[in-house]
Amino acid sequence: MTATRIDGKAYAAELRRNVADQVAALKRDHDIIPGLAVVLVGEDPASQIYVSSKGKQTVEAGMKSFEHRLPADASQADLLALVGRLNADSSVHGILVQLPLPDHINESEVINAISVRKDVDGFTVANSGRLATGQRAMVPCTPLGCLMLLRDQLGDLSGKEAVVIGRSNIVGKPMAALLTAENATVTVAHSRTKDLPDVVRRAEIVVAAVGRPKMVTGDWIRPGATVIDVGINRTDDGLVGDVDYDSVAGVAGAITPVPGGVGPMTIACLLANTLTACCRANGLPDPEGLTL
């Protein structure tokens, strides 16, 4: 058996087209254009690539892109002042502060300074709490993309046994909350989990988000399981995921590749969240097919 390859790149392209169509309708019917502001502190090469890609895709979707770059030695006060100005700017509907930030800046303080309504990353304590308690929230982009792929592949997730490997605030915890809301039975596993392969082997759905290259191997996987690989690890062999694709593909029912799986979904969901934030800011219904 060879697993079905889940084409996140194709799904993301369709999602971006959907966003662009609804942005065009918003402009035509209400003379409103969603705006996304991205803030980059310092010159981390990977972050620069991400920011450029986000800006390009924002413009391609018909939105306004606002890019703010601060030097690596910018003070926390300077960054908080910029966030404050963006919070007050009515042309900005989404604010994203690119992580990681330099060591001298308190990441949590900066993230929680972002207006809850403009927190399109879904990282503020308020949005995290709303998601965890089943209230309407801005959902973090990567877990949202994972859930969209799972729904597309499996349909109803109710009653399925899911294991999320990793407990980060960015992926693991919100992913578990989303799967719980879908009525799956969810286990959050991590580095301290005893007999981790045995725990993973129970799952019909596996979401790997640990940041360790090829950690999950085929003998960990229940035959026919659906495997979502969130990992992006740079190695001498190029980009690889947290899942050993070749060995797992021989056991799983479906699997996302790296690259070309979850990665493209993250930016597409960022655009979707920005459109959603814009609609909510203007008292309009949520865009179709882009929210949970």
Kindly name the residue from 57, 98, 160, 173 that is annotated as catalytic: 98
Kindly name the residue from 57, 118, 121, 214 that is annotated as catalytic: 121
> What integer pLDDT is reported at residue 177 of this predicted model?
97
> What integer pLDDT is reported at residue 191 of this predicted model?
84
> What integer pLDDT is reported at residue 80 of this predicted model?
98
Examine the domain organization and report whether 179 and 243 are in the same domain: yes
Q: Specify if 92 maps to a domain.
A: yes
Whether 54 is a known active-site residue: answer yes
Examine the domain organization and report whether 109 and 150 are in the same domain: no
Examine the domain organization and report whether 146 and 72 are in the same domain: no
Examine the domain organization and report whether 106 and 149 are in the same domain: no
- Residue 161 sits in a domain whose CATH number is 3.40.50.720
Examine the domain organization and report whether 197 and 254 are in the same domain: yes
Predicted TM-score (pTM) of the model is: 0.94
Pairwise CA distance, residues 254 & 120, whole Å:
29
Q: Specify if 180 maps to a domain.
A: yes
* 199 token code pair: 């725990």
> Of 115, 149, 182, at which residue does a domain stop?
115
pLDDT band with cut points at 50, 70 and 90 for residue 65: very high
Full domain range(s) for residue 188: 141-263
pLDDT band with cut points at 50, 70 and 90 for residue 51: confident
Examine the domain organization and report whether 91 and 184 are in the same domain: no
> Of 80, 115, 150, at which residue does a domain stop?
115
* 178 token code pair: 């989303």
Token match 């999602």: residue?
15
- Is the pLDDT at 197 greater than 80, yes or no? yes
User: Which residues neighbour 246 within 8 Å (Cβ) at sequence distance 6 or greater?
Assistant: none
Q: Specify if 210 maps to a domain.
A: yes
Average pLDDT value for the chain: 95
Examine the domain organization and report whether 257 and 167 are in the same domain: yes
Kindly name the residue from 22, 54, 57, 244 that is annotated as catalytic: 54
Could you give the percent of the chain with pLDDT greater than 70?
Answer: 100
Q: Specify if 244 maps to a domain.
A: yes
> What integer pLDDT is reported at residue 9 of this predicted model?
97
Examine the domain organization and report whether 110 and 145 are in the same domain: no
* CB contact burial 21-41 (16+ within 10 A = b; e otherwise): ebbeebeeeeebebbbbbbbb
- Is the pLDDT at 77 greater than 80, yes or no? yes
Q: Specify if 290 maps to a domain.
A: no
Examine the domain organization and report whether 107 and 170 are in the same domain: no
Give me the number of domains the chain comprises: 2
The helix, strand and coil proportions of the chain, stated in percent and rounded to the nearest 5, come to 45, 15, 40
Whether 121 is a known active-site residue: answer yes
> What integer pLDDT is reported at residue 76 of this predicted model?
97
- Is the pLDDT at 45 greater than 90, yes or no? no
- Is the pLDDT at 236 greater than 90, yes or no? no
Lowest mean pLDDT among 40-54, 84-98, 182-196, 269-283: 40-54
Q: What mean pLDDT do residues 162-183 have?
A: 97
> What integer pLDDT is reported at residue 36 of this predicted model?
98
Q: What mean pLDDT do residues 1-14 have?
A: 94
Q: Specify if 191 maps to a domain.
A: yes
Examine the domain organization and report whether 108 and 148 are in the same domain: no
Considering only residues 162 and 44, tell me which one the structure prediction assigns the higher pLDDT: 162
CA 231, distance to chain mean position in Å, is 12
Q: What mean pLDDT do residues 74-103 have?
A: 97
Q: Specify if 292 maps to a domain.
A: no
**How many C-beta atoms surround the C-beta of residue 132 within 10 A?**
15
Could you give the percent of the chain with pLDDT greater than 90?
Answer: 91
Pairwise CA distance, residues 36 & 28, whole Å:
19
pLDDT band with cut points at 50, 70 and 90 for residue 235: confident
Q: Specify if 4 maps to a domain.
A: no
Whether 73 is a known active-site residue: answer no
The DSSP annotation for 141-167 comes to HHHHHHHHHHHHHHS--TT-EEEEE--
- Residue 43 sits in a domain whose CATH number is 3.40.50.10860
> What integer pLDDT is reported at residue 1 of this predicted model?
65
- Residues 280, 285, 291, 292: what is their CA dihedral angle, to the nearest 10 degrees? 110
pLDDT band with cut points at 50, 70 and 90 for residue 260: very high
Q: What mean pLDDT do residues 193-220 have?
A: 97
Task: Show the beta-strand stretches assigned E in the chain.
Answer: 4-5, 35-41, 64-70, 94-97, 161-165, 185-189, 205-208, 226-229, 233-235, 238-240, 254-255
Examine the domain organization and report whether 175 and 222 are in the same domain: yes
Q: What mean pLDDT do residues 283-288 have?
A: 95
Examine the domain organization and report whether 210 and 97 are in the same domain: no
